[in-house]
Amino acid sequence: MLGKIRNCSLDKSTFKINFDNGDLYVEFISFQMVRIFQNRKRPSFAVINNKIVGGQDLSFNFKGKKVELTNGNLLLYVFNNGLIKLFTKDGKIVIESKDDIIDLDKQNASDEIENLKFVSTFLSHENEAFFGLGDKAGPLNKRNYEFANWNSDIPQAHVETMKSLYKSIPFFVGIHDSSTYGVFLDNTYRSVFNFLNKDNESFYFGASGGELDYYIMVGDNIKSIVRLFSSLIGTYPLPQIWTLGNQQSRWSYWCENEAQGIVDSYKKYKIPLDVIHLDIDYMDGYRVFTTSEKRFPKIKEWISSLSSDGIKVVTIIDPGVKVDESYSVYQKGIANNHFAKLGKDIYVNQVWPGDSVFPTFSSKDTRLWWGDNLDYLISIGVSGIWNDMNEPASFKGPLPYNVTFKSDNGLIRHDEIHNVYGHLMAEATYDRLFKTGKRPFIITRSCFAGTNRYSTVWTGDNQSIWDHLRLAIPQQISLGISGVSFVGTDIGGFGGDATPELMSRWIEVGCFSPLMRNHSAFNSKRQEPWMFDKLTLDIYRKYVNLRYKLIPYMYDLFHIEEIYGDPLIRSIFYNFPEEKSFFNNNDEFMLGENLLISPVVTSGSVTKLVALPKGKWFDYWTNEIVEGEYIIKKAPLDVCPIFVKSGAIIPNFVDGLQRVSSQDKIIFDIYQGKGKYVHYQDDGETFDYRKGIFNQYEIVLDDDKIQIELIKNGYEKLYKEIEIHYHCDSGLSQFKIDKFELNKKIFVKL
Ligand code: GLC
């Protein structure tokens, strides 16, 4: 307990409030964001930009039991014991502490509270909704649930009562009648967010170690909060465009012939494919950074022949290094002190290779060493790295809390580093791949806030069950709210056997996931699209084709995402914040601003009750115009109900592409109404775009007129052909535009 306030001072831009038992600092990072913190032992792993924005009108007023602090826009009261009350300048309450910060009524708390070093309790408003917290297995709205952040390998079916999964993002958005705000608790220890609301008036969060350090963001809507959070932790950098292609995986494709057979079958069945993944069995005895001589004897030549066919190879890498005196990665790691210790000894647990040791990714020299090891995979032509088991998972019980990892700031114990272990492994991998000059492609299972700067994520070991298809929607939306935009689930489910119907419905959802990968476990029914029946195969092909058409739209979304942090997969209220009924909608989502997807996610259903926000919507398949709060849509197995916003402009690649590749032709689907859209184009591969080497085409739609203009021409390859597909109440019309000049507007009357 901090006790009573003694005094307050302002040093440059930092307020220091001195209590009987310690100090609390307050910084207004910007007009919309305030940080409340104690002295940290270690710099943040998550935050990369908390520089204080200048020009704020900072002042304070100390009134005995409380200090009033302001930046001219926000007003923060700090009371004894560090309790707070935050308002906007027009007097709207944002968040308010509940008095009994420590003597929390145990009846209203959960067992988790026993392990917390500090707890902050706040009043919850009637109907307040909570969103975010990464990939928890519950619904979108986290009210009435409790979650803990402790990265966990959970092979059992993920259910909503589970407190933790693989990822920890201690960030949530709260929405109540007076405000929309976000809270980020910048603490890597096990933390708890309790929105159970047992007393109907409070929620709390706390952590089991470290210091109190949290940011409160205030905005007009959820989008503005996500953008503020993204400004703190960074965004996902624009990916190479092929990473948006279809990816096929299996634990495992055991040998070169089998993997080649998969690529050949994709060709045979005319389904687009860009990537094949190699799971742990490509290695020699699960030794990371090796390949099996027996199963992949000519791996370099094979990868090179795949590459001339346009196929990329991604290989899995786990953190656990096999204990083997004759294995050079182990030898060098030991020689250079790169492994975690228990006391004076190297700590050993078991993972796939048997006895294994754990790299100290918290130290820069270990990260560099890890990166050097990647040279081998890069040299044989691997295009992306899939980081798994990096919670870290261990088969002989959890790593004890007092296992230590060397770091750039002294030794770190396991309880502090655990939640950022995958984050640091991703950083090590990113830094090495960055040096290739291409945009790094990394997939990670575990992560923390800010890992999105380095890596995409998938949601781990789901099952081939309808519940997990349904879960994929709130899970991906919540990850997006938490800064993780490049997400995907194992399409078809990892464990268990997908039925043809489940597979069909899953691809209808999965084709919109930024990371589109079909993956399954060795003991499950084969899950490649042709392993079912003709109908499933045809449905699979239809939706992969749809995905390839939409790649330029998704790439545009990534361009925007890199700037602001807006996720690709969004809840409807992200785009329509006034439509609060969508707070609890767990079976629809939007891709960007324009596409609303209302998939069928229950077995046997061939209709869907579609909830639509206000406005006119076009049925994607029929062009029919629909309006209204709810409609019932027929959705036979091959139909995923998709709706396009009136006024939408959507760039498409031509039909029938088998790989993502640079295109001479672009098609703009334009939907009657009013709208504006900027389409982005670059080399799809390098960081040259950061030097301005890209093009932008602006389209303005004003009912029956459109205006197209090349507003930026930095990249030499312009489209040679532009086709317009205009959708309106009287049907579809098509025409071509074939010549562009910079800053010359082309007008078309529709
Ligand atoms: C873990 C991963 C899974 C992978 C398997 C074998 O369970 O989550 O995707 O296939 O390990 O490497």
For residue range 687-706, what is the model confidence (pLDDT) as tens digits? 999 999 999 999 999 998 99
The residue whose CA is least distant from atom 5 of ligand 1 is: 251
pLDDT at residue 102 above 50? Answer: no
Residue type for position 448? F
Residue type for position 576? F
Average pLDDT for 492-519: 98
What ligand 1 atom has the least distance to the C-alpha of 494?
9
Rounded to the nearest angstrom, the distance between the alpha carbon of 280 and the centre of ligand 1 is 8
Instruction: Label residue 508 left, alpha or beta by phi (over 0 means left) and psi (-120 to 50 means alpha).
Output: alpha
Tell whether ligand 1 has an atom less than 6 A from the beta carbon of residue 566: no
Picking from 31, 477, 27, the residue whose alpha carbon sits closest to that of residue 220 is: 31
Residue with tokens 């999964």: 165
Q: Exposed, middle or buried by CB within 10 Å (0-12, 13-18, 19+), for 97?
A: buried
Q: Between the CA of residue 568 and those of 155, 177, 512, 562, 596, what are the distances in Å?
A: 28, 27, 9, 11, 12
Rounded to the nearest angstrom, the distance between the alpha carbon of 251 and the centre of ligand 1 is 7
Average pLDDT for 568-587: 97
Residue with tokens 């995986």: 249
Tell which one of 388, 457, 491 to mutate to probe ligand 1, the residue whose CB is within 8 A of the most ligand atoms. Answer: 388
Compute the distance between CA of residue 211 and CA of residue 99 in angstroms, rounded to an integer.
20
DSSP state of 530: G
The residue whose CA is least distant from atom 10 of ligand 1 is: 251
What ligand 1 atom has the least distance to the C-alpha of 389?
1
For 67-81, 108-122, 199-213, 288-302, which range has the lowest pLDDT when averaged over its residues?
Answer: 108-122
Tell which one of 281, 288, 461, 524 to mutate to probe ligand 1, the residue whose CB is within 8 A of the most ligand atoms. Answer: 461
Q: Exposed, middle or buried by CB within 10 Å (0-12, 13-18, 19+), for 146?
A: buried
Query: What's the mean pLDDT when you consider all of the chain?
Result: 96
At 33-59, the pLDDT tens digits run: 999 999 999 999 999 999 999 999 999
The residue whose CA is least distant from atom 12 of ligand 1 is: 280
Q: How confident is the model at residue 107 (pLDDT cuts 50, 70, 90)?
A: low
The residue whose CA is least distant from atom 3 of ligand 1 is: 461
Residue type for position 165? L
Tell whether ligand 1 has an atom less than 6 A from the beta carbon of residue 253: no
Give me the catalytic one of 135, 153, 391, 682: 391
What ligand 1 atom has the least distance to the C-alpha of 460?
8
Tell which one of 316, 489, 491, 527 to mutate to probe ligand 1, the residue whose CB is within 8 A of the most ligand atoms. Answer: 316
Tell whether ligand 1 has an atom less than 6 A from the beta carbon of residue 709: no
Active site residue 103: no
Report helix angle 500-510 to 534-564, nearest 10. 30
Average pLDDT for 675-692: 98
Average pLDDT for 617-622: 98
Rounded to the nearest angstrom, the distance between the alpha carbon of 511 and the centre of ligand 1 is 21
pLDDT at residue 65 above 60? Answer: yes
Rounded to the nearest angstrom, the distance between the alpha carbon of 352 and the centre of ligand 1 is 10
At 317-357, the pLDDT tens digits run: 999 999 999 999 999 999 999 999 999 999 999 999 999 99
Tell whether ligand 1 has an atom less than 6 A from the beta carbon of residue 461: yes
Give me the catalytic one of 27, 128, 274, 388: 388
Beta-carbon-side half-sphere exposure of residue 35 (alpha carbons within 13 Å) = 24
Active site residue 729: no
Compute the distance between CA of residue 453 and CA of residue 272 in angstroms, rounded to an integer.
28
Rounded to the nearest angstrom, the distance between the alpha carbon of 347 and the centre of ligand 1 is 23
Rounded to the nearest angstrom, the distance between the alpha carbon of 412 and the centre of ligand 1 is 27
Phi, psi (rounded to 5 degrees) for 416 = -90, -35
What pLDDT, on a 0 to 100 scale, did the predictor assign at position 238? 98
Active site residue 199: no
What ligand 1 atom has the least distance to the C-alpha of 393?
1
Q: How confident is the model at residue 628 (pLDDT cuts 50, 70, 90)?
A: confident
Tell whether ligand 1 has an atom less than 6 A from the beta carbon of residue 445: yes
Query: Residue 220 is encoded by which pair of tokens?
Result: 């007009």
Query: Residue 265 is encoded by which pair of tokens?
Result: 């079958």
Compute the distance between CA of residue 544 and CA of residue 660 in angstroms, rounded to an integer.
12
Average pLDDT for 451-463: 98
Query: Residue 464 is encoded by which pair of tokens?
Result: 């081939």
With the C-alpha atoms ordered 29, 482, 577, 131, is the resulting torsion angle positive or negative? negative
pLDDT at residue 105 above 60? Answer: no
Q: What is the largest CA-CA distance in the chain?
A: 78
What pLDDT, on a 0 to 100 scale, did the predictor assign at position 448? 98
Tell whether ligand 1 has an atom less than 6 A from the beta carbon of residue 460: yes
Average pLDDT for 445-455: 98
Tell whether ligand 1 has an atom less than 6 A from the beta carbon of residue 480: no
pLDDT at residue 393 above 90? Answer: yes
Average pLDDT for 461-466: 98
What pLDDT, on a 0 to 100 scale, did the predictor assign at position 577? 97
Rounded to the nearest angstrom, the distance between the alpha carbon of 388 and the centre of ligand 1 is 7
Compute the distance between CA of residue 130 and CA of residue 143 in angstroms, rounded to an integer.
6
pLDDT at residue 252 above 50? Answer: yes
At 267-320, the pLDDT tens digits run: 999 999 999 999 999 999 999 999 999 999 999 999 999 999 999 999 999 999
Compute the distance between CA of residue 148 and CA of residue 679 in angstroms, rounded to an integer.
41
Compute the distance between CA of residue 287 and CA of residue 289 in angstroms, rounded to an integer.
6
Going through 620-720 in order, the beta strands assigned E by DSSP cover 625-626, 630-634, 642-645, 649-652, 665-671, 674-681, 695-702, 705-713
Q: 532 by DSSP, 3-state: which?
A: coil
Q: 207 by DSSP, 3-state: which?
A: strand
Phi, psi (rounded to 5 degrees) for 585 = -90, 110
Tell whether ligand 1 has an atom less than 6 A from the beta carbon of residue 251: yes
Rounded to the nearest angstrom, the distance between the alpha carbon of 6 and the centre of ligand 1 is 54
Tell whether ligand 1 has an atom less than 6 A from the beta carbon of residue 279: yes
Distance of CA 29 to the CA centre of its chain: 24
Contacts of 76 (CB under 8 A, 6+ apart): 26, 34, 36, 68, 69, 70, 84, 85, 86, 87
Rounded to the nearest angstrom, the distance between the alpha carbon of 400 and the centre of ligand 1 is 23
Average pLDDT for 89-96: 97
At 527-567, the pLDDT tens digits run: 999 999 999 999 999 999 999 999 999 999 999 999 999 99
Tell whether ligand 1 has an atom less than 6 A from the beta carbon of residue 316: yes
Tell which one of 494, 524, 527 to mutate to probe ligand 1, the residue whose CB is within 8 A of the most ligand atoms. Answer: 494
Tell whether ligand 1 has an atom less than 6 A from the beta carbon of residue 280: yes
Tell whether ligand 1 has an atom less than 6 A from the beta carbon of residue 588: no
Tell which one of 158, 287, 389 to mutate to probe ligand 1, the residue whose CB is within 8 A of the most ligand atoms. Answer: 389
At 125-134, the pLDDT tens digits run: 999 999 999 9
What pLDDT, on a 0 to 100 scale, did the predictor assign at position 91? 96
Rounded to the nearest angstrom, the distance between the alpha carbon of 389 and the centre of ligand 1 is 7
DSSP assignment of 85-126: EEEETTS-EEEEB-S-SSS--GGGS-GGGGG-SEEEEEEPPT
Tell whether ligand 1 has an atom less than 6 A from the beta carbon of residue 281: no
Q: How confident is the model at residue 431 (pLDDT cuts 50, 70, 90)?
A: very high
Q: How confident is the model at residue 157 (pLDDT cuts 50, 70, 90)?
A: very high
What pLDDT, on a 0 to 100 scale, did the predictor assign at position 100? 60
Rounded to the nearest angstrom, the distance between the alpha carbon of 332 and the centre of ligand 1 is 26
Tell whether ligand 1 has an atom less than 6 A from the beta carbon of residue 320: no
Rounded to the nearest angstrom, the distance between the alpha carbon of 369 and the centre of ligand 1 is 24
Rounded to the nearest angstrom, the distance between the alpha carbon of 283 and the centre of ligand 1 is 14
Q: Between the CA of residue 263 and those of 117, 165, 260, what are the distances in Å?
A: 53, 32, 5
Q: How confident is the model at residue 108 (pLDDT cuts 50, 70, 90)?
A: low
Average pLDDT for 199-214: 95
Query: Residue 719 is encoded by which pair of tokens?
Result: 């489209």
Please report, for the chain, how many H helices and E strands are present, in that order: 11, 51
What ligand 1 atom has the least distance to the C-alpha of 280?
12
Distance of CA 452 to the CA centre of its chain: 6
Picking from 632, 621, 606, 620, the residue whose alpha carbon sits closest to that of residue 501 is: 606
What pLDDT, on a 0 to 100 scale, did the predictor assign at position 320? 98
Compute the distance between CA of residue 311 and CA of residue 274 in angstroms, rounded to an integer.
5
Preceding peptide of 577 cis, ω within 30°: no
What pLDDT, on a 0 to 100 scale, did the predictor assign at position 106? 59
What ligand 1 atom has the least distance to the C-alpha of 251?
10
CB burial of 513-532 (b: ≥16 within 10 Å; e: otherwise) equals bbbbbbbbbeebeebbbbbb
Query: Residue 493 is encoded by which pair of tokens?
Result: 């489910």
Rounded to the nearest angstrom, the distance between the alpha carbon of 56 and the centre of ligand 1 is 50
Tell whether ligand 1 has an atom less than 6 A from the beta carbon of residue 388: yes
Give me the catalytic one of 281, 416, 461, 566: 461
Please tell me whether the overall predicted TM-score, pTM, comes out greater than 0.75 for this model.
yes
Tell which one of 154, 165, 251 to mutate to probe ligand 1, the residue whose CB is within 8 A of the most ligand atoms. Answer: 251
Phi, psi (rounded to 5 degrees) for 238 = -45, 125
Average pLDDT for 82-103: 87
What ligand 1 atom has the least distance to the C-alpha of 445?
8
